[in-house]
Structure formats: C-alpha cells, structure tokens
Amino acid sequence: MAFNLPSITKRLYKTLANLRTGIVLLILVGIAAALGTIILQRPVTEADQLARTYSPTTLQLLDRLTLTDVFHSWWFLTLLTLLSMSIVFVSVDRFPNAWRFYARPYRKTDSHFRAANPVKVELPIRNASDGINTAERVMMKLGWPVERISDGNQVSLYSERHRFSVMAVYLIHASLLLIFLGGIIDGIFGYSGYLMLQKGQTGNVIETRTGAKKTLPFGVKCYSAGQENYADGSPKKWWSNLAVVENGKEVKKKEIVVNDPLVYRGLRFYQASYGMTGALDALKVVATPEGGAGREVILQMGEPFDLDSNTSVTVAEFIPDFFIRDNQVFKKSDNPENPAFRLQIKNKAGGEDAVQWIFPAYNEASQGQKSNYTFQFRGMQMGYFTGLEVSHEPGQWLVWAGCVLMGFGLFVAFYMVHMRLWVVAIPDAKGKLVLWIGGQANKNKDRFEQKFKDVVEGIRTELESASTTPRSAHKDEPELTLAAAK
C-alpha cells in the first residue's frame, strides 16, 4: 500500500508542520528572490537590453528555466504556497498546546514545580493565613491582579500579567497569511493598466502591461493637466483635473497629483506621466486687416474663427519641425522646435480662399497667398497628455489589515511579557512554616527579576512591621535565589 492517500497527506502535513521545513522554505524563497534581482527580469527590462547583456544561448537557457521572470514563475509561486502552508501547519500543530497553556493557566504549584522553578524566595511566617493576606495586600498595592486559589483547607495566591502575549505569535502568523491572501486575491482579480488622456478627452479603455485592452465600467474625463517646475527646471508637481463620467453623468471630480490618486468604485487613477502629444492645442496670432488695426486672437486647431462677418480663419495644419524642398513644406521631426502653421482663410462673400503659412523661426508675419488679413505669430500652446496608471486591487485592504495586525502582534510578542507569580504557605525543608513566592516570565527575564524583587521586598517589610517581636535569628533570613537557569 505504497500509495495510501491518507498516509501521503499525513506525511505531507507532518513535513510541512515541521519548523525545519519552514526554515528551509524560507531560505529557498530568499535565494529565489535574490536570483530574481540579479538576473534581468523580462517584465521590467527592455528586450534589447536583455539581448545586450546575455548571449542568445544564455538567454535561451534562462528563458527555459523561467529565470527571466522568477516572480511570476510557477515554481516561485509553488514555493510561496508551500511556505504559507508550512506557516499554517506549524501554527496548527503548535496551537493546541499553546491554547491549553492560555486557556487553563497553571495556577496551583506542586512540589516538583517549586523545586525546579529558578526564581523563588522563602520568607518565614508564623501563620499561613496572615502570610497569605499580607502577600495579597502587597501584590494588589503593586498592581498585580491576585487570584485566591483554595484547595481544601489550603489557600494560595496566583497572579499574572499579559497572558495574551503568548498568543501573539499566532496573531503574527495570521497577519502574514492575511497579507498573502490579499496578494493572491490581487493576483487573480486585480488588474492594472495605462490610460492616456488629452485635455477634454474622456476615456474608458485601458491598456494592460501585456498590451491587452480592457474596458472600464465608467469613463474618466480630463479637464486639464499640467506641470509645475522648481526654479532649477526640475519638475515639482504634475497634476490632472479629472472627472468620473458614469452613464453620461459626472459623478465625481478631483485634481490628482503624484501621491494622491482618484479613487472610484475600487479603481484608482494615479498620475503617472505627463508630456506633449506633439499636436497643437492653440495658436496665438495678431490678425491685422488691410488698412486696419490688428487684434490678438487665439485659434484652436481645426476650428474656424470668424475674424469679421465675411472672413474666417482656420489653423489647417501644424508641422512641429519643418523643412522645405521643391517649394513644399515637409515634416522633419516631432520636436516643436521649428514649427510651421498653415492657415486657411475663407471668404464667405464670394472672394477667393487663401492659404498662408507662418514660420515663426524666420519671420513672425504670415506669407503666402494674398488675403485681406495678415497674421503675426505671438505664441503657441502645445497639446499635452496626462498618463494615468489605473489599478484595481481588491485585496489591498487585506494587505493593510495584515500590516496593522502584524505591527500589533510584533509589539505584543516582543514587548509584552507574560509574568506569573505564585504564593503559597508551606513548610520548608526543616519543617518551619514559610511563604513560598515564585515567579516566571517568558522573556526579558532580568526586568522581571527586578519586579519580582520589588514584590518580595514589599512582602518582607510588611511581614516584619506586622510582627511585634524584633528579628532575632538574622542568619535564618532567606537569600534571594535568582540564579537564572543555565
């Protein structure tokens, strides 16, 4: 029965529930992640850089081993899954013991425990109930919550602080799983993409990293976008005025900047980039009629502008960087360094239409076919686009919840000490009645020993002031035995 299914599951469980397996997985994840940072990764590297760095055979080998995309490879995800399973199983395996410890505190000491516990003191007393009462009073005064445990005719005291700190480690592991769960949800249901909008444009189709298109359930309109610079010319701020358009209605408006996205129905729109589209937005010219005074007008690209009741002008063509050959205007590049504008002047009164060109680098005045207007270049406004990173991460709240929980868990686990005190009246080795006081802490033992000393000294002084007879046998006084367990 080699393939007995229950036994295989059981063995798998046992292996993963072993802390050693967990540590090995931890190391493997670390090594794999390190590989992923040393070897260039396809999703974040340009193809030609990869080609420059590795020889074709190496690249082929790396690709085949999926080492060029470690973080999305099946084996890395398997490692992460196994690690999560290990965390769960180790926790599950250890939980019952911890829970028993938590739910049923060890309140009553026995002689074996008293002998083995390293932090303990014995104070001589005359009367068991007086001793216990004194101890209770002192402990209450020092802020220890005291429980009276009665066992037949014997009464003992038990006190503890921060018992929940023993469960903190489960909180931390749970929070880690919460973070993983958030990541998995985002990996399955989340998506992200890029949306490029020009001024006045509304868009609802984003392009994902793989180049696929995805349609959003609502549109986003860009009213305006811009950049502010520092005095030295480096960018200080990028902003976009956005509105959410749903079913033809504007439902939300916001100006976003780099660290402050627009959020609507779980989708986030981040300011990611900003730049020129290469197209003209507006042209500012002074239009002068024949024999008249000029006036400044702003011409929108492609929109006719009425100069008077008979004449209208349109910016018909914009060439960002021109050159002339055979008396024709051609485009050299997309940089708006040497622009040319073609103006179409229409005469509605039956006159002839005219075409004029403006080449601001050479002459501010327009030239070309004769018309009853001339134009002087005054300035131009390039069209800008704003690049929005769009992401949908339904699992991120789990991640943040996990982070907060982990912070809390770590605080409790590292800085809250589970401290316990036991007080019982028993006869000592010589048969004299003593008050046995013992204590335990799960961490930060030296600090606890100080606290323990405070309690013991408090009880000792109370006991001494209560007894009317002066102390006689000085050497009978017990020593603090605080030797830490080696």
The closest alpha carbon to 146, from 100, 135, 117, 103, belongs to: 135
What count of Cα atoms within 13 Å lies in the side-chain half-sphere of residue 435? 29
Tokens 């470690």 label which residue?
70
Cβ neighbors of 54 (< 8 A, separation 6 or more) are: 40, 62
Instruction: State the Cα torsion 103-109-110-113 to the nearest 10°.
Output: 90
For another protein, the closer CB: 172 or 425: 172
For another protein, the closer CB: 192 or 381: 192
DSSP tag of 106: -
Instruction: State the Cα torsion 324-328-331-337 to the nearest 10°.
Output: 50
* Distance in angstroms (rounded) separating the CA atoms of residues 395 and 177: 12
Residues 121-160 that bind another protein (CB under 8 A): none
Dig out the tokens for 114 from the structure.
């008293």
Dig out the tokens for 37 from the structure.
């940072």
Smallest separation (angstroms) from another protein to the CB of 351:
52
**Contacting range for another protein; rule: CB under 8 A; set: 100-108, 121-129, 304-312, 386-394:** 386-394
As a whole number of angstroms, the longest Cα–Cα distance in the chain is 132
Residue 405 found at the interface with another protein (CB under 8 A): no
Smallest separation (angstroms) from another protein to the CB of 374:
43
Q: x/- string (CB under 8 A) for another protein, residues 261-290? A: x------x-xxx------------------
Q: Could you give phi then psi for residue 252, rounded to 5 degrees?
A: -155, 145
**Contacting range for another protein; rule: CB under 8 A; set: 302-310, 320-328, 410-418, 467-475:** 410-418
Residues 222-261 that bind another protein (CB under 8 A): 230, 232, 234-238, 257-261
Pairing state between β 419-427 and 295-300: unpaired
Residue 184 found at the interface with another protein (CB under 8 A): no
Dig out the tokens for 256 from the structure.
């976003």
Smallest separation (angstroms) from another protein to the CB of 386:
13
For another protein, the closer CB: 362 or 414: 414
Residues 34-93 that bind another protein (CB under 8 A): 34, 36-38, 41, 44, 71
Cβ neighbors of 331 (< 8 A, separation 6 or more) are: 319, 320, 321, 322
For another protein, the closer CB: 40 or 132: 40
Residue 348 found at the interface with another protein (CB under 8 A): no
**Cα separations in angstroms, 221 against 27, 203, 244, 251:** 48, 6, 6, 11
* Distance in angstroms (rounded) separating the CA atoms of residues 472 and 475: 9
Which listed residue (4, 9, 30, 310) binds another protein by CB under 8 A?
30
Q: How many residues bind another protein (CB under 8 A)?
A: 47
**Cα separations in angstroms, 412 against 125, 363, 416, 418, 445:** 38, 76, 5, 10, 16
* Distance in angstroms (rounded) separating the CA atoms of residues 183 and 181: 5
Which listed residue (217, 292, 302, 407) binds another protein by CB under 8 A?
407
Which listed residue (201, 241, 376, 396) binds another protein by CB under 8 A?
396
**Contacting range for another protein; rule: CB under 8 A; set: 17-25, 99-107, 277-285, 452-460:** 17-25
Pairing state between β 373-392 and 191-198: antiparallel
For another protein, the closer CB: 49 or 310: 49
Which listed residue (406, 425, 434, 437) binds another protein by CB under 8 A?
406
Residue 322 found at the interface with another protein (CB under 8 A): no
Q: x/- string (CB under 8 A) for another protein, residues 435-454? A: -----------x--------
Please report, as ranges, the residues that interact with another protein according to CB under 8 A.
19, 22-23, 26-27, 29-30, 33-34, 36-38, 41, 44, 71, 183, 192, 230, 232, 234-238, 257-261, 268, 270-272, 389-391, 393, 396, 399-400, 403, 406-407, 410-411, 414, 446
